[in-house]
Amino acid sequence: MSRKIILASIFATLYSFVIAQPTESEIREFARTKSEAEIVHENSVMMQDGFIFYADILADRLLEFDSQSPNYHYRKGFSTLKLLNDYEKAIPHFLVAIKDTDPNYDAFSHNEKSAPTDAFYHLAKCYHFNEEITKAEEHYNKFLETTKKKSELIPEAKLNIIQCQVAKQIMANPVNVRLKNVGDAINTKFPEYSSVVSLDGSSLYFTSRRSWPNNESQNFKDLGIDQFPEDVYVSTLDQDSNWIEPKMLDFCKPKRNEATMAVSVNERRLYLYEDSTGSGDVYFSDFYTGKFNEIDKLDEKGVNSEFWETHAMVSPDGSRLFFVSDRPGGFGGRDIYMCTRNNDSSWSNPMNLGPKVNSAHDEDAPFVSIDNRRLYFASNGEKSMGEFDILMSDLLADGSWSESRNLGYPFNSTNDDAFYTTTIDGLTGYMTSIRKGGKGEKDLYEIQNDFLGVKSVAVFKGKIKTSDGSPLPEDFAINFKLSCDDCEDSESTKVIFPRLKDGMFMTGLKPCKTFRIAYINASDNKTMQEETFTTECNVDYQEIYRELILDVPTRTIIVPKDTVVEIDPVDVTTWKNIEFMHYFDYNKNKLTMSKGDLKRFVKDIEEQLKAGRPKITINVYSSASNVPTKTFESNEKLTAIRAENMKYDLSTYFESSAEFKGKVNVVIVSAVVDGPAYDNDFRNRSKYKPYQFVGLKTE
């Protein structure tokens, strides 16, 4: 058959594929039945058009024709790297490919045995991902020496060489972090990414491309990468501080991409990415009637545009809106922009954060700490070790942002690290990363550090409980108005809404200030309770805690005297006090120190003692609910046993160690029976469980 006839046949086949969008079975049949020339051509088309999964199937067939071909090994290495980011499996293919390269490579000829000089670049990339920096630099330079001068990969190779130099510098001076994969309950063989942790660390929102249980999403796969659409999930911590099986949020649809961006402090609004318009925009979902409801496009002036908006979040104090866009006029690809809140609650026009934050490349995924003064974000520019790294910038006195800096290694890796969010103290965070030993192509990781704690901030936090133990009414909101005599006008009043699922609330305040706080019923604007407190001056981090009781029928607030707790100020430059809380099931009274957060609590105490803290007091607080117990003499006996068991186990543990003996004092502060009166409804565990606990706090 002549070349002209072959090409005519190929283009007829391609035409049918373009019109019909082939299925996996059709591609496999094509690979099984067509000639080598046809498969070469189709493989090249699929690679160029982004159908990497189909290209990978065809590359496997080409290697059956010629298992030693540099050309075919290049194709297989390319699809292996691009499809799953499996750089370790791609390396052997590229090593064969670079044995014979040709700058005049003909991708559409089955007579072509050489690989393109791009093979050097992709092999370098694999070595870069694998933290073999010297080999990566060698092959980036080899690519630059051999490729054509018009190659689109030349700027990327030059950037990657700079990133290799950054990697060598950063890896030579590692930072102190503890990194762990969040585990099988959340991470799967599918990509999980874009996690957002609640400030109290109890909820983790994230995006996953896993299949729906009933296969409803099967017909809506991205055919290019063989991935299901994006959906949003949430997981919460169980009583042993383990993440439970995540729940897909109600607004998700099988044929639509929805991805997490950020969550408000009170978890009443979730910011989302959705791309049905074609460009990708910022959406949101609000929490009411016990769930997150259908998404709406954010209509704030200047945010969404005809261009690509990939991320958005509002600062904890509600004064700034950050978002990401690749609109013209920026410094590079995607830039971070900011709007500020006007006096009428509208947003100002967007302002680019400037060259100290944005680069000639891409910035994404902004997140702001509880003190509203530190910005974390991802960048793949010249400050990165490779791909996206987490950088940070601080808000300066003049309102500008400081020169951004890399968070270091192994906080960052030479592969993608992005979507970093933290709990309230800044010492525990969650991020998306591609690392060895992961469950899938992207995984979620928890990362703890000792150098990013928020400073010069007071945190006002607490919970609202109803007098009868029922959930907070969904139509009820309380405004906490904080008036500060010596604050600037923009800081003088804060409005905080509690989290509906459990009544939690929190906000950051400035130290060394006197605040008058009024608890106001939002439905009629009447003040229900008032108090005054002063935040400490000479400490880095402090907390003011309140527990409030709402009488539902009268809509009045009670502040029990024994819950007005000023948590001791903590100087994070010396010894940070440590807390632990565990909620029991009925009649349970004992814990093990070999797992969960209690194991971590004990380990943190040991680390402080080893580092020179002379003595530590552990205060024990326990509670039992009013549900009658048949196992013990009384609920008073049950709560006492919970406290005594905790004291005995901790005292025995530390006193049995020659290293720690005499350095830890365990004190039972309270053992109470608390909560709503029993109403013959013991099956209503959520009603009584908040009053079945043991808590620990060091001082």
Q: Is 214 exposed, middle or buried (0-12, 13-18, 19+ CB in 10 A)?
A: exposed
**DSSP assignment of 89-105, as one string?**
HHHHHHHHHTTSB-TT-
Q: How far is it, in rounded angstroms, from Cα 106 to Cα 102? A: 9
Q: How far is it, in rounded angstroms, from Cα 499 to Cα 264? A: 10
- Both 231 and 299 in one domain: the answer is yes
- Both 581 and 557 in one domain: the answer is no
**Is residue 358 within a helix (H) or strand (E), and if so which, with residue range?**
none
Helix (H, G, I), strand (E, B) or coil at 454: coil
Helix residue ranges, H only, 436-575: none
Which has the closest alpha carbon to 348: 398, 285, 399? 399
Cα–Cα distances in angstroms (integers) from residue 532 to residues 319, 514, 545, 644, in the given order: 24, 7, 13, 36
Q: How far is it, in rounded angstroms, from Cα 381 to Cα 36? A: 41
pLDDT of residue 475: 67
- Both 561 and 599 in one domain: the answer is no
Residues 6+ apart with CB under 8 A from 10: 37, 38, 41, 42
- Both 121 and 163 in one domain: the answer is yes
- Both 128 and 191 in one domain: the answer is no
Q: Which of 171, 197, 227 is the last residue of a domain?
A: 171
- Both 649 and 665 in one domain: the answer is yes
The two structure tokens encoding residue 41: 């051509």
pTM comes to 0.79
**What CATH number is associated with residue 674?**
3.30.1330.60
Phi/psi for 234 (5° steps) reads -135, 140
Neighbouring C-beta atoms of residue 205, cutoff 10 Å: 25
pLDDT of residue 343: 87
- Both 597 and 699 in one domain: the answer is yes
The two structure tokens encoding residue 386: 């490779």
DSSP 8-state assignment for residue 442: S
- Both 445 and 551 in one domain: the answer is no
Q: How far is it, in rounded angstroms, from Cα 508 to Cα 512? A: 13
Domain hosting 60: range is: 3-171
pLDDT along the chain (699 residues), means of 10: 36 44 92 97 95 97 98 98 95 98 96 97 98 98 96 97 98 94 95 97 96 92 94 91 94 96 96 92 94 95 96 95 97 97 93 98 97 97 98 95 98 98 95 94 95 89 86 74 68 76 88 84 79 83 86 78 47 67 80 79 88 88 87 85 88 87 88 84 74 87
- Both 183 and 312 in one domain: the answer is yes
Q: How far is it, in rounded angstroms, from Cα 323 to Cα 315? A: 11
Residue whose pair of structure tokens reads 């090593």 in the numeric block: 95
The two structure tokens encoding residue 665: 């004092």
Q: Which of 112, 142, 171 is the last residue of a domain?
A: 171
pLDDT of residue 289: 87
**What CATH number is associated with residue 544?**
2.60.40.1120
**Is residue 641 within a helix (H) or strand (E), and if so which, with residue range?**
helix 635-655
pLDDT of residue 146: 97
Rg (CA), the chain: 29
Query: Do 506 and 200 contact (CB within 8 A), yes or no?
Result: yes
Query: Do 378 and 385 contact (CB within 8 A), yes or no?
Result: no
**What CATH number is associated with residue 231?**
2.120.10.30
- Both 279 and 426 in one domain: the answer is yes
Query: Do 539 and 511 contact (CB within 8 A), yes or no?
Result: yes
Neighbouring C-beta atoms of residue 99, cutoff 10 Å: 12
Q: How far is it, in rounded angstroms, from Cα 633 to Cα 572? A: 44
- Both 233 and 193 in one domain: the answer is yes
Q: Which of 171, 187, 219 is the last residue of a domain?
A: 171
Query: Do 508 and 459 contact (CB within 8 A), yes or no?
Result: yes
**What is the number of domains present in the chain?**
4
Residues 6+ apart with CB under 8 A from 194: 206, 207, 259, 260, 261, 365, 418, 419, 432
Cα torsion for 156, 161, 163, 164, to the nearest 10°? 140
**What CATH number is associated with residue 103?**
1.25.40.10
pLDDT of residue 205: 98
Phi/psi for 236 (5° steps) reads -125, 160
Assess whether the previous peptide bond of 191 is cis (omega < 30° from 0). no
- Both 622 and 554 in one domain: the answer is no
DSSP 8-state assignment for residue 555: T
Query: Do 575 and 544 contact (CB within 8 A), yes or no?
Result: no
